[in-house]
Every structure is written in structure tokens, then in C-alpha cells.
Amino acid sequence: MSQAWTFVCPGAELLPGEMKTVFDEVSGAPILVVNLDGELYALEDICSHEDFELSAGALDADEGTIECVLHGARFDVRDGSALCAPAYEPVAKFPVKREADGGVWTRDDRD
């Protein structure tokens, strides 16, 4: 498991209702970081139904969900769970932190 954190952006650049994608510096995994009312969440930016980037889809900040533009699968951005068909498997959830200097960081913590 990697302990290396990947810089996402300054916190001021990720406002509530916005999202940003980065690639983990160690694994290369695409990670989608979402700001829901000031809380930060990070998911793998790949739909579990078909390998397509979730960041291309629509974020519903009120519901805390993101919908894959390809086939309409929806996921809870707080825990990565699949909410409707055609996706049945969750997407990976990653740690995300905000440093004292305001920077937002994440990492692929899978083994």
C-alpha cells in the first residue's frame, strides 16, 4: 500500500459542488475528488459497470451522487456504493485530506 499522497489542488479551487480529477502518483489510478458542502470525498474515476470516467457525468450535489454518462449508473460519492443498474459493484473510495496550508491531497490506498 502506498503512503505517498498526490496533490489535487489548493482548497480554494475546489468549491462546494465541484469536482476535480487527478492521477495517483504511485499507481496511476484516476481519482475523482468531490466537494459536497465543504466535505471532501475521493473515488476512483472509473465506472464499475464499464470502464468509463465518472467525471464526465453529472454530479448531483443535493443527493451526493454522480451519474455515469455512458449508461446512467449512479454512485454515492460519500462511499462509492452503486445505487442503480447497470452498476452493481461499488467504485473504490480513497482517503482525502486538507492540509493546514489549504492544499487538498488524496492517494490510492489499495494493496
Domains and CATH numbers, the chain: 6-106 (2.102.10.10)
* Residue 3: per-residue pLDDT: 84
Q: Give the pLDDT confidence of 33-71 residue by residue, as tens digits.
A: 999 999 999 999 999 999 999 999 999 999 999 999 999
Q: What's the 3-state SS for the chain?
A: CCCCCEEEEEHHHCCCCCEEEEECCCCCCEEEEEEECCEEEEEECCCCCCCCCHHHCEEECCCCEEECCCCCCEEECCCCCECCCCCCCCCCEECEEECCCCEEEECCCCC
* Residue 101: per-residue pLDDT: 86
Can you tell me the distance from the alpha carbon of 96 to that of 99, in angstroms, rounded to the nearest whole number? Answer: 10
Q: Give the pLDDT confidence of 80-110 residue by residue, as tens digits.
A: 999 999 999 999 999 999 998 889 999 999 9
Can you tell me the distance from the alpha carbon of 38 to that of 49, in angstroms, rounded to the nearest whole number? Answer: 29
Q: Name the phi and psi angles at 77, rounded to 5.
A: -70, -15
